[in-house]
């Protein structure tokens, strides 16, 4: 499939890497020759240097034959214009990054319709939503919702001396009777799709699917439950901080935001009167302690510098803050942070690139009957969780799951039927109209039929 | 340096060499040349075994390569192909000395067409076929060929393409490197087939038309007659001349024609400069040699054939241009250095570099007149960035240096200034025949082994555009990474 990407910054590159890896023909456009040179050296893509809204540049990139057009430059206005022009020139689907709060209110619907956008993405808003979900359920490292929010996929880190240490999954199921499924385990750099004989160890990161009610039950049984964060300290007054603070305040939490830029602080104080805005250097440990780092429920590092976020998060962890989350955008730093003991890391660019990858796969699969409803990458991207709409043409319809011959490293983790979600056993069947959550590692699925041998 | 990946690729290329050597073996079978057949099969076995062993020993999961790995892979591949390709000549006894055979094969792969054979007409069919086939493979590039048929070698194949494809800037036609390689070869194959058919329709038999098409498609120039193309009809000569010119055009332009962007083709500065230079040269030479051939038609045909043959660095000849007046010879010498368009199968400096160099000179003069002037060099309607300008200027300097160095190395040969100098120019720019001793009716057979090796390297330097070979030969490139 042909895809054109305008803007090769952090987010653009991440999307590009994802899409090239999936085997698409990608054309990259950027205004800066040095950026485009580097992209051409590292990825197998065609590079065009120029303004992404210029018809000549777009023609050179062959936009008229593009199935998907993604505009993720710095400027919202350029993204919108580029998508508009590309759509008029024949691009089938367009995605624009629009992140200014003033565009992201009621006017967004109107504009998306006028510009014929397939979807607009706001990485900061999406990151804030994810952070908010984690803060509501602090025991988890990461939470993903499947459609309707009925079924959730939660990643949990097993602490030292966890009561699960040495338990096999069959024993676990016997011991804790709840509707859940352990569907992926990360141990060191290896990721497993476990079967019943798999034995858990301390330090593992496990992925669990269950409905939200059952998750709470399970966490309670495992003694992992933590109350949702009431007092949250946020470092850095960025766009993410703004969206996150707004959500937290609306749900009744207390928020402290620290930033050393006076102008930005003033602006935040104007717009978020309920929050405590501190103007000061967040790298100063004295200041953090003074503002109550010792008593806060959660600490979120959201400055623009990955390194700073990691270092201060380590300090916050050492002060026994129950939940520490850091924003880290660079892959190599994220894996290092993980080694340093910071397990909860949020990266806006990954959230967006997963979203774009899902759209790309859905477009590619538009002929296929079982369309993709959602796609998440788990365990640092090595495992995917996909939600498919089941059509009446699915080959494994009305067959008990134990009789389906699945390819290796594939697991059916959940079935959503109407408003009910169930964790499937061997005797359950997939019916047309269901939505099915599939966990897969090491391969790419385009259609539900692909899970069958 | 990712040595494992470099050697893995090296091994794969050994296997490809075996594959390519099977083709002349088939020809040997058709013409019942059993001694030649065995020599080809032995060469196939050797390169296949070595290639398979190396590539299985060096199999690696780390397929990340950077620019220097690209240079190293390309240089190793060309040396290896030439070394293996020389084996059948020696094994069959048709070229007894290995140095001679190596020279002949390098000359083939680099599309030079310089020959050491004293009597080409006594060679067997399969050897003649192999000689010309090396032109065809070398023209578009050995590794581009490998890229087209081996699936997903590495994501960073651009480093390999850049090291092998001639020209100051290498771009892709379509997003994926492998698809680009396939498109290039597809265009190449279609044009080759068309030329074979056109020649076959004339006075050449199938074997002759295939061999001569390979020679002109790769802009190589190995003939199978001692008077090159001179003995064939005017029709064949004109077909060959036209196709040589066509193969000297940037292949990207053909791709633009296929996808219907004619306007972009017509706006190409390089194309018009190339055709303009060729037309001017034809006119001047026609008038200059008019007195030799009498009729204007005959002189025009010969001038056109020779110009087309020399500017595309092919090296076929319809007459002995060594006997032409010195004005014509000087023009031909100039064309030898210019070469054709970037991204074609031809050698030389490349027209795009020549144009940029001239514009650079004008800008420099302007800057001397107006020391504070802000200048820009434009090419193909786009401003050329500083880095490209710099690399073009440096390339030219290194090009001159290499020619001087090669010339000094062969200067003790007893054939006089004109012969030695034109031999250096003819090998370095991948043309083939020069003037004097190495003129169209002569050859490189009388040079010493040392000079033949020097010329072999000069041909490789010219084909790979100097830097890949120099970088691959410098020890710092090969430092081991942990």
Convert the pLDDT of each residue in A248-306 to its tens digit.
999 888 999 999 899 999 999 998 899 999 998 888 888 888 888 888 889 999 998 88
Residue B120: pLDDT band (50, 70, 90) is confident
Whether residues A16 and A97 share a domain: the answer is yes
Q: Look at A41 and B176 and tell me if their CB atoms are within 8 Å.
A: no
Tens of pLDDT, residues B445-471: 889 999 999 999 999 999 988 888 888
pLDDT of residue B310: 93
What digits encode the pLDDT tens for the residues A333-367? 877 887 787 878 888 888 888 888 888 888 887 66
The pLDDT of residue B142:
82
Report the pLDDT value the prediction gives residue B148, as an integer from 0 to 100: 77
Residue from the list A2, A41, A46 with its beta carbon closest to the beta carbon of B172: A46
* A203/B contact by beta carbon, under 8 A: no
Interchain contact A58–B (C-beta under 8 A): no
Count of domains forming chain A? 4
Per-residue pLDDT, averaged over A435-452, amounts to 83
Residue A365 within any structural domain of the chain: yes
For residue A25, give the nearest of B157, B159, B174 by CB distance.
B174
Phi, psi of B461 (to 5 degrees): -60, -45
Within a domain: residue B137? no
Is position A276 within any domain?
yes
Please tell me which residue, B390 or A142, carries the higher pLDDT value.
B390
Distance separating alpha carbons of residues B140 and B220, to the nearest angstrom = 11
The mean pLDDT of B391-403, rounded to a whole number, is 93
User: How far does A325 lie from chain B, in Å, by closest CA?
Assistant: 33
Q: Are residues A20 and A88 in the same domain?
A: yes
Which pLDDT score, from 0 to 100, does residue A30 have? 94
Question: Are A8 and A108 in the same domain?
Answer: yes
Q: How far apart are CA A154 and CA A130, in angstroms?
A: 12
Rounded to an integer, the average pLDDT of B420-439 is: 90
B74: Cβ contacts below 8 Å, ≥ 6 apart:
B143, B160, B163, B164, B464, B468, B472
CA B299 to mean position of chain CA atoms: 28
* Residue A43 within a domain: yes
Sequence-distant contacts of A411-414: CB under 8 A, at least 24 apart = A411/A181, A411/A183, A411/A193, A411/A438, A411/A439, A411/A440, A412/A436, A412/A437, A412/A438, A412/A439, A412/A451, A413/A153, A413/A181, A413/A183, A413/A209, A413/A385, A413/A437, A413/A438, A413/A439, A414/A146, A414/A151, A414/A181, A414/A209
What is the model's pLDDT at position B481? Answer: 65
Mean pLDDT lowest among A125-129, A388-392, B44-48, B135-139: A388-392
Q: Out of B158, B173, B174, whose CB is closest to A41?
A: B158
In a domain, A131, yes or no: no
Q: Please judge whether B157 and A44 are an interchain contact, meaning their C-beta atoms are less than 8 angstroms apart.
A: yes
CA distance A22 to chain B (A): 12
pLDDT, position A119: 87
Instruction: Note the pLDDT tens digit of each residue in A7-61.
Output: 998 899 999 988 988 888 999 999 998 899 889 888 889 999 999 999 989 988 9
What average pLDDT is seen over chain A?
86
Residue of A nearest to B386 (CA): A33
Q: What residues of chain B lie within 8 A of the CB of A42, using their CB?
A: 155-156
pLDDT at A148: 62
Higher model confidence: residue B455 or residue A331? B455
Examine residue B62 and state whether it is found in any structural domain, yes or no.
Answer: no
Residues of chain A in contact with residue B385, where contact means CB-CB under 8 angstroms, are: 33
| Assigned domain for A343 exists | no
Residue numbers of B between 371 and 390 with CB closer than 8 Å to A: 385
What is the average per-residue pLDDT within B266-272? 90
Q: Is the pLDDT at B442 greater than 70, yes or no?
A: yes
Sign of dihedral through CA atoms B203, B206, B208, B214? positive
Residue B402 in domain = yes
Tell me if A2 sits within 8 A of A22, measured CB to CB: no
**Final residue belonging to a domain, choices A321, A347, A379:** A321
In a domain, B375, yes or no: yes
Is A347 domain-assigned?
no
What is the mean predicted confidence (pLDDT) over A104-115? Answer: 86
Look at B124 and A189; give whichever has higher pLDDT.
B124
Question: Is there a single domain that holds both residue A211 and residue A241?
Answer: no
Contact of A50 with chain B, judged by CB distance below 8 Å, is answered with: no
The pLDDT of residue A359: 85
B155 and A2 within 8 Å at the Cβ level: the answer is no
Residue B465 DSSP class: T
ipTM: 0.77
Q: Is the pLDDT assigned to residue B185 strictly greater than 60?
A: yes
Give A382's contacts (C-beta < 8 A, 6+ positions apart). A186, A191, A441, A442
Domain around A177 = 143-221
Domain boundary among A277, A295, A321: A321
Domain coverage including residue B412: 351-464
Kindly report the nearest CA distance between residue A20 and chain B, in angstroms.
9
Which has the closest alpha carbon to B464: B393, B402, B410, B420? B402
- CA distance, residue B255 to nearest chain A CA (Å): 13
pLDDT at A449 over 90: no
The number of distinct structural domains making up chain B is 1
8 A C-beta contact, residue B214 and residue B195: no
Would you say residue A161 has pLDDT above 80?
no
What's the mean per-residue pLDDT of chain B? 89
CB pairs under 8 A between A and B: 36
- Do the domain assignments include residue A95? yes
Under an 8 A CB cutoff, do A41 and B67 touch? yes
With CB atoms and an 8 Å threshold, state whether B155 touches A20.
Answer: yes
State which of A372-381, B151-160, B384-393 shows the largest mean pLDDT.
B384-393
Q: Domain holding A273: CATH number?
A: 3.40.50.720
* Nearest chain B residue to A26, by CA: B175
Closest CA to B77 of B42, B51, B40, B41: B51
- Does B154 score more than 90 pLDDT? no
Q: What is the side-by-side order of every strand in the sheet holding A323-327? A: A276-279, A254-259, A231-235, A298-301, A323-327, A345-346
Q: Which of B430, B442, B378, B364 is nearest to B138 (CA)?
A: B430
Answer yes or no: do A46 and B175 touch at CB < 8 A: yes
**Could you tell me whether strands A93-97 and A25-30 are parallel, antiparallel, or unpaired per DSSP bridges?**
unpaired
Using a CB–CB cutoff of 8 Å, tell me whether B174 touches chain A: yes
Window 226-285 of B: residues touching A by CB (8 A cutoff) are: none
Pairing state between β A383-389 and A25-30: unpaired
Q: Quote the CA–CA distance of B205 and A14 in Å, as a whole number.
A: 57
pLDDT at A82: 94
| Same-domain pairing of A368 and A447 | yes
A44 with B174: Cβ contact below 8 A: no
**Candidate from B67, B177, B385 with C-beta closest to A44:** B177
Q: Tell me what pLDDT residue A205 has.
A: 84
Q: Which of A321, A339, A364 is the last residue of a domain?
A: A321
Residue B187 has pLDDT above 90, yes or no: yes
pLDDT level of residue A382 (50, 70, 90 thresholds): confident
Segment B224-237, tens digit of pLDDT = 888 888 889 999 99
Structure tokens at A422: 């169930």
CA A425/CA A360 separation, integer angstroms = 32
User: Do residues A54 and A155 both lie within one domain?
Assistant: no
Q: Do B175 and A45 touch (CB under 8 A)?
A: yes
Q: Under DSSP, is residue A128 helix (H, G, I), strand (E, B) or coil?
A: helix
* Residues A215 and A242 both lie in one domain: no
Q: Which of A34, A44, A68, A442 is best to mutate for the B interface (most B CBs within 10 A)?
A: A44
Under an 8 A CB cutoff, do B175 and A26 touch? yes
> Nearest Cβ partner of B155 from A2, A43, A46?
A43
B158, A27: Cβ pair inside 8 Å? no
Identify whether A105 is part of a domain. yes
pLDDT in tens, B43-70: 999 999 999 999 888 887 777 888 888 8
Chain A contacts of B64, Cβ < 8 Å? none
As given in the structure block, the two tokens for residue B23 are 């083709």
Inter-CA distances, B339 with A235, A321, A360, B310, B431, Å: 62, 71, 45, 8, 9
Q: Pairing relation of β-strands A345-346 and A372-378? A: unpaired
User: How confident is the model at residue A77, as a pLDDT?
Assistant: 93
Residues A256, A293, single domain; the answer is yes
With a cut of 80, say whether residue A183 has pLDDT above it: yes
Whether B292 maps to a domain, the answer reads no
d(CA A36, CA A7): 9
Does the pLDDT of residue B152 top 60, yes or no? Answer: no
What SS3 state is found at A232?
Answer: strand
């Amino acid at each position: 499939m042909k895809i054109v990407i305008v803007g090769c910054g952090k987010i653009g590159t991440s999307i590009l890497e994802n899409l090239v890896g999936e085997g698409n023909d990608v054309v990259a456009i950027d205004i800066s020759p040095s950026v485009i040179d580097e992209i051409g050296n590292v990825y197998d893509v065609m590079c065009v240097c120029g303004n992404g809204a210029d018809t000549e540049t777009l023609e050179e990139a062959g936009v008229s034959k593009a199935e998907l057009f993604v505009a993720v430059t710095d400027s919202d206005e350029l993204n919108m214009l580029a998508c508009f022009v590309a759509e008029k020139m024949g691009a089938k689907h367009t995605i624009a990054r629009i992140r200014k709060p003033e565009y992201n209110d009621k006017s967004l619907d109107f504009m998306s319709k006028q510009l014929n956008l397939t979807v607009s993405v706001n990485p900061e808003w999406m990151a804030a939503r994810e952070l908010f979900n984690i803060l509501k359920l602090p025991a988890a490292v990461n939470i993903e919702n499947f459609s309707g929010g009925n079924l959730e996929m939660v990643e949990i880190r097993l602490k030292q001396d966890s009561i699960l240490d040495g338990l096999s999954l069959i024993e676990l199921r016997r011991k804790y009777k709840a509707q859940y499924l352990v569907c992926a385990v990360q141990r060191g750099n290896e990721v497993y799709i476990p079967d019943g004989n798999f034995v858990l160890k301390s330090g593992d990161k496990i992925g669990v699917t269950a409905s939200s009610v059952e998750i709470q039950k399970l966490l309670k049984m495992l003694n992992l439950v933590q109350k949702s964060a009431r007092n949250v300290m946020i470092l850095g007054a960025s766009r993410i901080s703004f969206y996150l603070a707004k959500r937290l305040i609306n749900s009744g939490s207390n928020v402290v935001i620290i930033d050393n830029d006076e102008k930005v602080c003033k602006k935040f104080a104007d717009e978020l009167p309920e929050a405590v805005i501190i103007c000061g250097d967040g790298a100063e440990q004295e200041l953090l302690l003074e503002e109550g780092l010792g008593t806060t429920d959660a600490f979120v590092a959201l400055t623009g510098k990955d390194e700073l976020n990691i270092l201060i998060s380590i300090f916050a962890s050492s002060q026994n803050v129950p939940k520490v989350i850091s924003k880290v955008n660079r892959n190599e730093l994220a894996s290092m942070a993980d080694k340093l003991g910071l397990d909860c890391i949020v990266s806006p660019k990954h959230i967006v690139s997963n979203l774009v990858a899902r759209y790309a796969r859905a477009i590619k699969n538009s002929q296929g009957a079982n369309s993709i409803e959602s796609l998440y990458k788990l365990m640092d991207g090595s495992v995917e969780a996909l939600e498919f709409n089941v059509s009446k043409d699915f080959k494994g319809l009305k067959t008990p799951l134990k009789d389906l011959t699945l390819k290796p490293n594939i697991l059916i983790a959940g079935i959503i039927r109407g408003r009910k979600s169930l964790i499937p056993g061997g005797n359950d069947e997939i019916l047309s109209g269901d939505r099915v959550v599939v966990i897969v590692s090491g391969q790419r699925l385009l259609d539900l039929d692909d899970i069958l041998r | 340096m990712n040595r494992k990946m470099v050697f893995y690729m090296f091994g794969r290329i050994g296997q490809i060499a075996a594959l390519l050597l099977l083709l002349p073996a088939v020809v040997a079978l058709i013409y019942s040349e059993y001694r030649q057949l065995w020599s080809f099969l032995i060469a196939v076995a050797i390169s296949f075994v070595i290639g398979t062993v190396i590539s299985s020993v060096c199999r690696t999961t780390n397929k990340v390569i950077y620019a220097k790995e690209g240079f190293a892979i390309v240089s190793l591949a060309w040396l290896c192909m030439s070394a293996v390709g020389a084996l059948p000549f020696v094994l069959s006894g048709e070229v007894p000395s290995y140095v001679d055979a190596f020279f002949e094969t390098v000359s083939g792969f680099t599309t030079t067409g310089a020959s050491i054979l004293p009597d080409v007409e006594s060679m067997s069919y399969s050897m003649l076929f192999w000689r010309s086939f090396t032109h065809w493979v070398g023209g578009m590039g050995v590794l581009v060929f490998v890229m087209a048929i081996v699936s997903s070698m590495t994501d960073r194949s651009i480093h390999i393409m850049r090291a092998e494809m001639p020209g100051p800037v290498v771009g892709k036609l379509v997003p994926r490197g492998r698809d680009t390689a396939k498109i290039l070869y597809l265009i190449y194959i279609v044009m080759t087939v068309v030329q074979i058919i056109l020649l076959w329709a004339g006075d050449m038999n199938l074997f002759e038309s295939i061999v001569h098409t390979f020679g002109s498609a790769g802009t190589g120039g190995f003939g199978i007659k001692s008077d090159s193309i001179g003995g064939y009809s005017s029709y064949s000569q004109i077909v060959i001349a036209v196709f040589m010119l066509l193969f000297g055009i940037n292949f990207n332009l053909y791709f633009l024609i296929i996808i219907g962007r004619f306007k972009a083709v017509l706006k190409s500065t390089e194309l018009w400069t190339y055709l303009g230079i060729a037309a001017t040269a034809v006119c001047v030479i026609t008038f200059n040699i008019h007195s030799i051939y009498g009729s204007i038609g005959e002189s025009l045909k010969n001038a056109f054939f020779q110009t087309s043959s020399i500017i595309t660095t092919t090296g076929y000849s319809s007459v002995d241009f060594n006997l032409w007046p010195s004005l014509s010879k000087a023009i031909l010498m100039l064309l030898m250095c210019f070469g054709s368009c970037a991204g074609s199968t031809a050698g030389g400096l490349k027209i795009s570099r020549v144009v940029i160099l001239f514009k650079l000179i004008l800008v420099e003069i302007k800057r001397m007149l107006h020391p504070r002037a802000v200048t820009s060099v434009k090419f193909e309607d786009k401003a050329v960035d500083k880095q490209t300008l710099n690399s073009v200027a440096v390339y030219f300097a290194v090009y001159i240096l290499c020619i001087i160095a090669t010339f000094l190395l062969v200067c003790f040969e007893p054939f006089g200034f004109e012969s030695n100098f034109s031999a250096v120019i003819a090998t370095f720019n991948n043309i083939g025949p020069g003037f004097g001793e190495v003129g169209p009716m002569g050859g490189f057979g009388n040079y010493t082994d040392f000079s033949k090796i020097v010329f072999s390297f000069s041909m490789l330097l010219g084909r790979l555009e100097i830097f890949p070979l120099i970088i691959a030969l410098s020890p710092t490139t090969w430092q081991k990474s942990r």
